[in-house]
Amino acid sequence: MPLFEMSGNKLDPVEQTNFSIEKELQTLIEKNLEVVFNCRFVASEFSTGALHAGRIDSLALSEENNPVIIEYKKVESSELINQSLFIELAYNKIGG
């Protein structure tokens, strides 16, 4: 989806920037979580525990203190949906 910069009544497209690796985007977002998502940073590469043996790219808290899980992907893939469902199931099992 394109982004635009507004100048008076005129919109100018903003040039898209691609990140060479996901970690660059992750670092940028983590340093700006409050501005981008109105969330407080909790952890980077948060372990989901020995049972699930996974990691959450960025973990934050919303203004209502609900967990916010952010996963970064360089390419579109159905794997993201599977990973999201797995995280949801794991969270519900541990008393979320």
25 Cβ partners below 8 Å, 6+ apart?
Answer: 19, 72
pLDDT of residue 19: 86
Angle at CA of residue 43, ends 72 and 58, nearest 5°: 10
pLDDT less than 50: residues of the chain: none
Quote the pTM value. Answer: 0.68
Structure letter (DSSP) for residue 65: S
Instruction: Look at residue 73 in the predicted model and tell me its pLDDT.
Output: 78
**Domain positions in the chain:** 22-93
- Quote the strand ranges of the chain, DSSP E: 4-7, 10-13, 40-47, 55-61, 67-70
